[in-house]
């Protein structure tokens, strides 16, 4: 195998430059020195080895040569556990970085929402955050061109409240029946086991509402420069209610206080080859060094009349709510100031569910939100078992749980001890509370998705000339390998978004066809 001297030189220069820069700043590398730091804070071995059942392990048991293996409990305990150490990988969002911190209220919104976590200015609520590329597997790269998950768990006194959002202000589809199709189209071809551009572009051109989000994915915002510089969005328009029972509707925006930064394709490709865990490492090192990342939290607020009179479906997750019509209102900020002590226990087992709602927040009335309430819960059952909410990182730490759920695969904790295990009962088991001014989620009717207008607005008014050029380049890089019929369909829809965009992509494809035989490669 031959290597290009120029490319090797460029990589060497980049590596050398990174090392020199770090040395010049004299910055510590907490992630690289974690195990060293553990030794330094320990006066010696933390204790004597035991089996998982607690039996002490004698030094002769650490060797198996010329001995009966089945009688060596250290060997048996270690080996049989090793082959069971992996749980099912998340179907999407498998690779991630995460941390813990707090949310603080900075502005009063009690006039629209009675959730206790928003009850007064200055109130702090502990929270967890998990950031993740959508498509790549667990061993993939942090700098792939992809959307990112932006998931937050708030440990409130009314139970956990989860916002399972994205780094894009809109989502891909309006009809949740498309979720399996969307995922499979981006995953590996079942025959070749390779990522297949034909599959992706077949989906995008069959469901052109997805192009609104993918203008961002293929644009300058498609590769965030680490998680600390990545914005987040709740995607859904949440229904909330106040103490009087009045309904309002809000969309969440999370704006990084360090500023929004993104990587260009060439830079991301270089980083990918050197440090595929770039974003995860950056987040860990920043927190460990005391440079705690923070985000300002803002919301768009709509009244029931706003919803009724809106010119768009404000619950359509493939659309954004225009900020000139529904301006941003400050709500608070969240700070991440604690790294996980054990990644598997605290981040891999961190289980999100849009159904984790609290009094005063009814959720989204759209079908995607309804489907996610089922899908996320079912995914956690599959990955972590029926008692996943008993895993410490998922426990509602500010309230006592009185559930009638019992038994099942561990962890069961105290399994609700001797409390009656059925409801209703007359033996003093837990009973439901009665909410004053109870609010029901509104029922809505939704048309088929159609958002070329907003995609056009994004292309013309939110992208500079240079950004539009890079968007075209990135689209061509992906679309250029697809068969011509898919290319022609894509050009048709890009033209519907804007004639300039369609024309530039069409011209770029024609140049590619002249220089390369794409069909032959396929």
Question: What DSSP string describes 129-197?
Answer: EEEEESSS-TTS-TT-SS-EEEEEEEEEBTEEEEEEEESSSS-S-SSGGGHHHHHHHHSB-TTT-SB-H
| b/e code 355-385 from CB counts within 10 Å (16+ = b) | ebbbbbbbbbbbbbbbbbbebbbebbeebbb
DSSP label of 346:
I
Q: What is the mean pLDDT of the chain?
A: 92
**Cα separations (Å) of 310 from 233, 344, 403?**
21, 45, 41
Q: Annotation-wise, does 376 bind a ligand? A: yes
CA distance 403 to 109: 31
Please compute the mean of the pLDDT values over residues 56-72 and round it to a whole number: 91
Contact call for residues 144 and 272 (beta carbons, < 8 A): yes
Lowest mean pLDDT among 216-220, 314-318, 345-349, 448-452: 448-452
Please compute the mean of the pLDDT values over residues 14-36 and round it to a whole number: 62
Q: Is 16 exposed, middle or buried (0-12, 13-18, 19+ CB in 10 A)?
A: exposed
Predicted confidence at residue 472, as pLDDT, reads: 97
Predicted confidence at residue 496, as pLDDT, reads: 97
pLDDT at position 194 over 50: yes
pTM: 0.90
Contact call for residues 99 and 283 (beta carbons, < 8 A): yes
Q: Phi, psi (5° rounding) for residue 301?
A: -120, 130
Q: Where are the domains of the chain?
A: 97-394, 463-521
- CB count within 10 Å of CB 182 equals 20
**Cα separations (Å) of 311 from 172, 197, 314, 447?**
21, 35, 8, 13
Predicted confidence at residue 26, as pLDDT, reads: 57
Contact call for residues 496 and 451 (beta carbons, < 8 A): no
CA distance 334 to 338: 12
Lowest mean pLDDT among 2-6, 113-117, 432-436: 2-6
Task: Give 97-394's CATH code, choosing from 3.30.1360.170, 2.30.29.30, 3.40.50.720, 2.40.180.10.
Answer: 2.40.180.10
Peptide bond before residue 411 is cis, with ω within 30 degrees of 0: yes
Contact call for residues 273 and 143 (beta carbons, < 8 A): no
Q: How confident is the model at residue 515 (pLDDT cuts 50, 70, 90)?
A: low
Please compute the mean of the pLDDT values over residues 197-220 and round it to a whole number: 97
Percent of the chain with pLDDT over 70: 93
The 3-state DSSP class for residue 380 equals helix
Angle between helices 452-461 and 484-497 (to 10 degrees): 80
pLDDT at position 173 over 90: yes
Lowest mean pLDDT among 39-53, 197-211, 221-235: 39-53
Q: Which among 393, 338, 395, 347 has a CA at the least distance from the CA of 101?
A: 338
248-273 per-position pLDDT tens digit: 999 999 999 999 999 999 999 999 99
Please compute the mean of the pLDDT values over residues 214-221 and round it to a whole number: 98
Q: Which among 365, 363, 343, 345 has a CA at the least distance from the CA of 354?
A: 363
372-381 per-position pLDDT tens digit: 999 999 999 9
Q: Which residue is associated with the tokens 């949740």?
A: 176
What length does the chain have? 522
CA distance 280 to 143: 10
Q: How confident is the model at residue 437 (pLDDT cuts 50, 70, 90)?
A: confident
Contact call for residues 507 and 473 (beta carbons, < 8 A): no
Predicted confidence at residue 475, as pLDDT, reads: 97
């Amino acid at each position: 195998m031959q290597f290009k001297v120029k490319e090797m030189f460029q990589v060497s220069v980049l590596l050398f430059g990174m090392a020199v820069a770090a040395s010049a700043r004299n910055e510590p590398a907490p992630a690289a020195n974690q195990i060293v730091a553990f030794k330094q804070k320990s006066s010696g071995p933390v204790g004597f080895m035991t089996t998982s059942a607690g039996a002490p392990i004698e030094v002769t048991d650490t060797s198996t040569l010329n001995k009966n293996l089945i009688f060596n409990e250290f060997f048996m305990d270690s080996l049989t556990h090793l082959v069971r150490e992996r749980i099912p990988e998340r179907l999407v969002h498998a690779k991630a970085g995460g941390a813990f911190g707090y949310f603080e209220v900075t502005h009063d919104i009690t006039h629209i929402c009675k959730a206790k976590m928003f009850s007064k200015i200055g109130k702090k609520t502990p929270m967890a955050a998990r950031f993740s590329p959508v498509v790549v597997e667990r061993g993939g790269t942090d700098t792939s061109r992809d959307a990112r998950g932006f998931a937050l768990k708030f440990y409130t006194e009314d139970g956990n409240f989860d916002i399972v959002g994205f780094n894009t202000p809109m989502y891909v589809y309006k009809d949740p029946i498309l979720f399996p199709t969307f995922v499979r189209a981006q995953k590996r071809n079942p025959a070749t086991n390779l990522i297949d551009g034909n599959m992706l572009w077949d989906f995008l051109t069959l469901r052109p509402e997805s192009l609104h989000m993918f203008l961002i994915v293929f644009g300058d915002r498609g590769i965030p420069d680490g998680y600390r510089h990545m914005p987040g969005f709740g995607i859904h328009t949440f229904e909330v209610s106040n103490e009087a029972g009045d309904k309002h509707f809000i969309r969440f925006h999370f704006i990084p206080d360090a500023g929004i930064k993104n990587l260009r394709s060439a830079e991301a490709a270089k980083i990918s080859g050197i440090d595929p865990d770039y974003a995860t490492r950056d987040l860990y090192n920043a927190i460990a060094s005391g440079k705690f990342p923070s985000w300002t939290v803002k919301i768009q607020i709509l009244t029931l009349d706003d919803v009724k009179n809106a010119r768009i479906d404000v619950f359509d997750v493939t659309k954004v709510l225009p900020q000139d019509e529904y301006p941003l209102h400050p709500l608070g900020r969240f700070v991440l100031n604690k790294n996980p002590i054990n990644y598997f226990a605290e981040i891999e087992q961190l289980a999100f569910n849009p159904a984790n709602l609290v009094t005063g927040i009814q959720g989204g009335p759209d079908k995607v939100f309804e489907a996610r309430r089922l899908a996320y819960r079912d995914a956690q059952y599959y990955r972590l078992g029926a008692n996943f909410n008993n895993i410490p990182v998922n426990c509602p730490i500010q309230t006592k749980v009185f559930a009638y759920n019992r038994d099942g695969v561990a962890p069961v904790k105290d399994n609700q001890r001797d409390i009656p295990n059925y409801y209703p009962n007359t033996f003093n088991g837990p009973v439901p509370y009665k909410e004053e001014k109870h609010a029901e989620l509104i029922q809505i009717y939704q048309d088929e998705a159609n958002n070329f207008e907003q995609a056009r607005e994004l292309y013309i008014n939110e992208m500079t000339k240079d950004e539009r050029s890079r968007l075209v380049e990135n689209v061509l890089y992906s679309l250029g390998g697809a068969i011509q019929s898919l290319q022609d369909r894509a050009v048709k829809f890009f033209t519907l978004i804007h004639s300039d965009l369609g024309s530039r992509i069409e011209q770029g494809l024609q140049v590619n066809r002249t220089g390369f035989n794409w069909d032959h490669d396929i």
